[in-house]
Amino acid sequence: MRFTHETLAQRVILDAGRSLEHLEAQVAHLGASRVMLVAGGSASSYADRAAVLLPVVLRWTEVVQHVPVAVAERARAAAADTGVDVVVCVGGGSAVGVAKAVALTTRLPVIAVPTTYAGSEATPVWGLTEDRRKTTGVDPVVLPTVVVYDSDLTRSLPVDLSVASGLNALAHCVDSMWAPRSNPVNQALALEGARALAQGLPHVVGDPMGTPGRDQCLYGAYLAATAFASAGSGLHHKICHVLGGTFDLPHAPTHAVVLPHVLAFNAPAVPDQARRLAIALGRPAGLAGPDDDAAAAATDALAALRQAVGAPRALRDLGLPLDAIPEVAERVVAAAPATNPRPVTGPAIETLLRAAWEGADPRSQS
């Protein structure tokens, strides 16, 4: 065994119902006294309560998916004008994205309080969008210094969005198994993340207000994002990146729809990873058998989970026009990692995208 693995420095707290007191303590621990509080509409009442406890000098409510450059520039200018010394963000990946955009140019520390399973809080990846193109980059300055997970804040996330977001997190796990810097350490994180998400999501669907399922999903989402941050973007993320940046499709549902198609495409070429993924997803059947069984066990396990939680199925339902598929495929082929387990060709990606667009059973394409 041989690998090079980097572990990112970050304080991570998971404690249902106590995020406000942790926030207060962590802001004080950083020695900060001028807080920029980034929180969109869904986090506004929590932000009201946080603003009572924290030394907030700027409240930022303009939170837009994929962070348009104009929004980033306005937020940076406001931070500079107000002289803030820490950015606290509360919300999903979009709120974290605004905080990261500010940190990228100001180098201010970020404290993140996530309310979805997107996982941006655990990665040094930033993303900005302009002229239908999403640009991403990696810079350690955008990695939040502290993350405070409080599953009470995720109880208001509607079940369908919770499912989509949980599958977005699961996509981090699955893509990490073959991403360019995939290694035994990030695979271990990915597999434990997949196990936690596969266990937690059905609980969230059955009992959206319950703490155990919500905690499992936050824990799984953190591990998933840590694995992804280390392993890098695989084919799945390249596809969703093009779909999100160019066609402004909703982030989490897009990941949820595309994931089984990429798994069905790649799994036959990586039977060992497929075997371990199947076990993580709770399906030990066929695991001592031939390689085909391992790929089928993994894709069947994901299909069963998706069925149990009522996952979204088709890109056409998310607003992708059918005639966009050739353009998407062309961009995906240009961006796909050379290390993908199977060759990424235009016809193969068009077939995959067409199946995802229709909502076809992905197991029929491999």
Task: Give the interface with ligand NAD as residue ranges (CB under 6 A).
Answer: 40-42, 65-66, 91-95, 97, 115-116, 118-120, 123, 125, 127, 153-154, 156-157, 161, 165, 168, 251-252
User: Closest distance between ligand NAD and the C-beta of residue 205, in Å?
Assistant: 16
Closest CA to 223 of 147, 157, 285: 147
**Cβ nearer to ligand NAD, comparing 253 with 341:** 253
Sorted by sequence, the CB contacts under 8 Å of residue 347 that are 6+ apart come out as none
- Provide the terminal-to-terminal Cα distance of the chain, rounded to the nearest Å: 30
User: Closest distance between ligand NAD and the C-beta of residue 170, in Å?
Assistant: 13
**Cβ nearer to ligand NAD, comparing 101 with 355:** 101
**Cβ nearer to ligand NAD, comparing 143 with 177:** 143
Closest CA to 281 of 303, 261, 264: 303
Residue nearest to ligand NAD (CB): 93
Closest CA to 154 of 195, 203, 193: 203
User: Closest distance between ligand NAD and the C-beta of residue 347, in Å?
Assistant: 28
Question: Could you tell me the CA-to-CA distances from 341 to 1, 240, 249, 271, 291 in Å, in that order?
Answer: 19, 18, 27, 10, 14
**Cβ nearer to ligand NAD, comparing 141 with 348:** 141
User: Closest distance between ligand NAD and the C-beta of residue 255, in Å?
Assistant: 8
Return the H-helix or E-strand segment holding 126: strand 125-130
Closest CA to 199 of 156, 232, 170: 170
Sorted by sequence, the CB contacts under 8 Å of residue 359 that are 6+ apart come out as 257, 313, 314, 315, 316, 317
**Cβ nearer to ligand NAD, comparing 252 with 301:** 252
Report the amino acid identity of residue 206.
G
Report the distance separating Cα 98 and Cα 47, nearest Å: 15
**Cβ nearer to ligand NAD, comparing 91 with 260:** 91
User: Closest distance between ligand NAD and the C-beta of residue 96, in Å?
Assistant: 7
User: Closest distance between ligand NAD and the C-beta of residue 140, in Å?
Assistant: 13
